[in-house]
Amino acid sequence: MAKEKKEERLEIHIPVKRERKRGWREMHPPIRKVPYLHTDVPGGKEFQTIDGRHIHNLAELASILEQMDDHAFQYHANAAKNDFSSWVKDVMGLSELAETIRHKGRKDTQIEVLKHLLKQMG
């Protein structure tokens, strides 16, 4: 009489959590290597603000956004466009970061995103 082999099943139970609104930190884990964090973009590719300042990297972008008045910010980031997001995507090639910046319409939130990245990447 042959022994019947029992088919073993490995069952994994994953507890279902209630959906909650996730913050941007949870939705966008830190990027492993970020070019242009403190290193300048190639010559001629810097961002020039309406008030005449030049931004060469992400650290400068965070710093200048903090100093920028609301009129200058609204010129570059409004319902129709976000020049900062476009620059990050087109010049730096960081499309995920650009999307995050674009979706964060308020100046203080964009600054928070950039400062968090700077803190994570040092």
> pLDDT tens-digit profile of 70-96?
999 999 999 999 999 999 999 999 999
**Rounded distance between C-alpha atoms, residue 74 and residue 68, angstroms:** 10
Q: Output 63-69 pairs: Cβ under 8 A, ≥24 positions apart.
A: 65/107, 65/110, 65/111, 65/114, 66/111, 68/107
Query: Running DSSP on this structure, what letter comes out for residue 23?
Result: P
Give the pLDDT of residue 73. Answer: 98
**Rounded distance between C-alpha atoms, residue 29 and residue 64, angstroms:** 24
Give the pLDDT of residue 14. Answer: 39
Q: Could you tell me the pTM of the whole model?
A: 0.73
Instruction: Tell which wins on pLDDT, 112 or 34.
Output: 112
Give the pLDDT of residue 23. Answer: 55
Number of neighbouring beta carbons within 10 Å of residue 12: 4
Give the pLDDT of residue 2. Answer: 52
Mean pLDDT value of segment 30-50: 89
